[in-house]
Amino acid sequence: MKYTFAVISTFSILLPIILNLWVFKKASINIRLFLFFLVFGFFTDALGWYQYEYQNESNILNLVSQFLYQAYPLFEVLFFFVFLWSLSIKRRLKKTLLFFAISILPCWLVYNYLISLILPSLDKPD
């Protein structure tokens, strides 16, 4: 049952993507960027699902899948900070969002690389 929900979740984003394609030419830049974000998320999820389902032995596909799996949370957070920044009209809010967008990269690098080098046992299941 859990697997079924994961597959449904992966492919459920196709409906908003298809609906956005109808208004793409008339949409603002923010909506176009949001569509790109949805497409990127779909491909990240679909590639992860494909890797899980077929356990492909391709080294390049495994590397791409692992990179996207690790990079997607960074991309997602940065996208939302920039998206909110572009929509905000208050200068103080823009500065705050920009500060957090810039400060998230070192946090992500520490979490994904430094901690795994120092404590490699965290990445291994018991």
Q: Which amino acid is at 66?
A: Q
Q: Band of the pLDDT at 1, cuts 50, 70, 90?
A: low
Whether the CB-CB separation of 85 and 105 falls below 8 Å is answered with no
* DSSP state letter for 122: G
pLDDT at 120: 59
Query: Can you give the residue ranges of every domain in the chain?
Result: 2-123
pLDDT per position as a tens digit, 60-117: 777 888 888 888 989 999 999 988 988 889 999 999 999 999 999 898 888 877 776 6
Q: Would you call 1 helix, strand, or coil by DSSP?
A: coil
Tokens 């901690």 -> residue? 115
pLDDT at 125 over 60: no
- Backbone phi, then psi, for 8, in 5-degree steps? -60, -40
Q: 107 to each of 29, 73, 119, how far by Cα in Å?
A: 29, 12, 16
If you ran DSSP here, which 8-state letter would residue 113 be given? Answer: I
Burial of residue 102 (CB within 10 Å: 0-12, 13-18, 19+) is exposed
Predicted confidence (pLDDT) at residue 122 exceeds the cutoff of 70: no
pTM of the model: 0.72
